[in-house]
Amino acid sequence: MFVERLRIGAWVMAALLAVVGRAQEPAAEAVTATEADDAESAWSATVDLSVLTGYLWRGMLINDEPVFQPSLTLDYRGFSLNVWANYDVNDSDEAPAFTEVDYSAAYSFACGRFAASLGYSLYDYPNTYEEVEDEDGTLSRHAVDSTHQVFGYVEIPGLAVVPSVTVEYGFGREETLYASFGLLREQPIAETLTAEVSAGLGWGNRGYNRYQVEADRSALSDATFGVSLVWAPVDPLAVSASLAYSYFVSDSIADAAEAYGYDAPDALVGGLTLSYAF
């Protein structure tokens, strides 16, 4: 079954960064042109604008209707700040509205053959509510609490197939631990066109699965596969088309997710992303 799903599955998360210059004050005589160029090239900024057929995350189809997901990333010498959001076009009581905004800070560095990142994220959920049973037995709507996490990421770049490992520890209402192993293959097709194929396998501890789908056990969580085409006609601009397929590996997690309200055990989402560096 795993092999059959691998053949039809698709997943990609395309991230395109381009270095841009920053306006500089006239350099003093002691500052050379090369030093000024180095200072400019240390900065980068990228805007990603994605339109998808649904919001798919770690096997969970959070919204099965079209969504808009913008993102802004600022980077300086390995330090980065990112703001990402999900905008529900419909399929929610508050739509159209932003239902999630994530703020992240990270530091990326090289260590021998490895490339690694360490960071912190805050997940905020505006216009998102859940029904809670009060002490008197009545149901009331409450805003969803923000969640926090620290994370680490490591990959071995330069290989034909790039392996990676991500570990995330979340804290807030629940202490959660989620780890995933990924593989990525990039294949140039033409001077401005690149194909990407990826696969990932995730695992969640008891706290993670209990928080996400009310499954009180540690287990393999989701497998995700994908393909994408990235077209970069000019240096600051890129357009990517992606197709993502994800499913729950564990039957017990799939059953819990379905009972919780998600489409399970699998889901398929397509999307278009416009990326621009400035």
Give me 109's structure tokens.
Answer: 């560095």
Provide the pairing of β-strand 114-124 with 129-133: unpaired
Give me 13's structure tokens.
Answer: 């998360």
- Which residue, chain included where needed, has tokens 């959070």? 62
266 contact partners, CB below 8 Å, separation of at least 6: 5, 59, 245, 246, 247, 248
Query: Which helix (H) or strand (E) element contains residue 131?
Result: strand 129-133
Nearest-angstrom CA–CA distance, 208 and 169: 9
Cis omega (within 30 of 0) on the bond before 66?
no
Structure confidence at residue 228 (pLDDT) = 98
Q: What is the DSSP letter of 19?
A: B
Domain count, the chain: 1
Structure confidence at residue 237 (pLDDT) = 97
CATH number for position 208? 2.40.160.40
**Angle CA(275)–CA(160)–CA(16) in degrees, nearest 5?**
10
Cis omega (within 30 of 0) on the bond before 265?
yes
pTM of the model: 0.83
pLDDT along the chain (278 residues), means of 10: 37 31 34 50 93 96 95 97 96 83 98 97 92 74 90 98 98 90 97 98 96 94 97 96 96 94 90 96
Q: Which domain holds residue 159?
A: 2-22+30-277
Structure confidence at residue 94 (pLDDT) = 73
Rg for the chain, CA atoms, rounded: 21
| Coil, strand or helix at 211 | helix
Structure confidence at residue 130 (pLDDT) = 80
Structure confidence at residue 90 (pLDDT) = 85
Give me 252's structure tokens.
Answer: 């017990």
